Amino acid sequence: MAFKTIIEPFRIKVVEPIRRTTREERDQALREAGFNLFLLRAEDVLIDLLTDSGTGAMSSEQWAGMMRGDESYAGARSFYRFEETVREITGFKHIVPTHQGRAAERILCSVMVNQGDIVPNNTHFDTTRANVENVGATALDIPIPEAGQPATIHPFKGNIDLAALEHVLATNAGGVPLVILTVTNNSGGGQPVSMANLKAASHLCRSHGVPLFLDSCRFAENSWFIKLREPGFADKTPFEIAREMFGYADGATMSAKKDGMANIGGFLALNDDAFAQKCKNLLILTEGFPTYGGLAGYDLEALSIGFKEALDEDYLRYRIRSVAYLGERLTEAGIPLVQPPGGHAIYVDAKAMLPHIPQHQYPAWALSLALYLEGGVRSVEIGSVMFGRKPDGSEQPAAMELVRLAFPRRVYTQSHVDYLAEVLIHVHQIRDRICGVHIKEAPEVLRHFSASFEPVGGDLLAP
């Protein structure tokens, strides 16, 4: 008998209470936070889907591993365990630990990217884009056209547009220091990249002598989607698939706060000896000695175990299924989403849901505020607040206005997901009352983290 219910493949040993608040309290909290969900106190949030980054629950094995952490400044046993695990999965020669993904990005960009260069990517994540632009280069997003059509179903919507890539490489000889493929494509809806696309991108890069890097934060989820959706991979393990994916690249950056299943950590991995030496020198300057890179020995232990747990089939089946389940409930209720649902998150299409709010009044930002006000749910805008300000200071609306509901790993259960569905369906029913917002104050870069806002009419919901 094969039972159809996919269960959480763990039982709970430690619990952390979450706090209910009244609507009045949430209204007050929003005003105090300048209508910016990043500036809320986490205690005032009931279900926190701001990000899946560093918010997961560690396993009993990981906690046990932390007690074995070797805190030696140089040459710690925990580093060698970390290095061995990352090398086993990625196959790369040099493994450089960093405190999180953006540290790896900053080092990589400082070493490989120059002013005036172009860095193509399926879609740059916000920190990746900021790091590319910080050295004066252009971050070019070239996903396949389907990636920009939320309702279009495509099994590998994270794919890079190969014709566009070939064109950039052919017309900018010497001006493209590297190509990045983000797996899964976070800003583009958590959508996977196929092995065929990876292979073809790798071939193009090699024929132009340009290195290919993976932004590999969700390498395990991407492997699972390849196993489920790409012909020829059904009988391979996620580990084998991951290994093959990395095999098409020359290096990778990683935020181990995602598929490292830990609360902090990352790495930069690469094959090139000369670049690796430069990266390690810079690491010593700003992160730490190359055998800890800004991490504690116990973090390195938790990560060595976490990378393997992220590739466990029961875990991946449960994780991808719980996101898909929410996606199905919302789709049945007529809520416009990026289809099909991504690996780590649901992306609500706020442009389609709130056509009465123009893009310069940030519909996705307004929707994320309404979800908090009504249900205590925290999500994140991926739209014109995050991406609408160009490096020259001009405003240009983002291609899509999305609200991302990202699932922390191994944290919430089925009933939490049912509650979420209820909140979203309710907010969808009152969508005509949601008002746009404008920016009161904002910093020049990565403004979504700290800007303050005001509802256009003073109140977020019209009566």
Ligand X SMILES: *Cc1c(COP(=O)(O)O)cnc(C)c1O
Binding region for ligand X (CB under 6 A): 53, 100-102, 125, 127-128, 182, 186, 215, 217, 255, 257-258, 266
Sequence letter at residue 20 = R
Phi, psi of 254 (to 5 degrees): -145, 130
**Residue closer to ligand X (CB basis): 258 or 431:** 258
**Residue closer to ligand X (CB basis): 180 or 354:** 180
Minimum separation from the CB atom of position 213 to ligand X (A): 11
**Do the beta carbons of residue 34 and residue 440 sit within 8 Å?**
yes
Minimum separation from the CB atom of position 124 to ligand X (A): 8
Q: Which of 1, 44, 5, 6 is nearest to 22 (CA)?
A: 44
In DSSP notation, 268-298 reads EEES-HHHHHHHHHHHHHHT--TTTTT--HH
**Residue closer to ligand X (CB basis): 105 or 250:** 105
Minimum separation from the CB atom of position 100 to ligand X (A): 3
The dihedral over CA atoms of 84, 86, 92, 95, expressed in degrees to the nearest 10, equals: -80
**Residue closer to ligand X (CB basis): 389 or 404:** 404
Interatomic CA distance for residues 145 and 122, integer angstroms: 11
Minimum separation from the CB atom of position 300 to ligand X (A): 15
Minimum separation from the CB atom of position 396 to ligand X (A): 22
Minimum separation from the CB atom of position 280 to ligand X (A): 19
**Residue closer to ligand X (CB basis): 59 or 100:** 100
**Do the beta carbons of residue 374 and residue 319 sit within 8 Å?**
no
Token reading at 397: 């609306």
SS3 202: helix
**Residue closer to ligand X (CB basis): 102 or 431:** 102
**Residue closer to ligand X (CB basis): 85 or 182:** 182
DSSP 71: -
Rg (CA), the chain: 21
CB nearest ligand X: which residue? 101
Token reading at 104: 């790896």
**Do the beta carbons of residue 347 and residue 150 sit within 8 Å?**
yes
DSSP H or E run through 259: none
Minimum separation from the CB atom of position 101 to ligand X (A): 2
Minimum separation from the CB atom of position 232 to ligand X (A): 26
DSSP 72: -
**Residue closer to ligand X (CB basis): 102 or 243:** 102
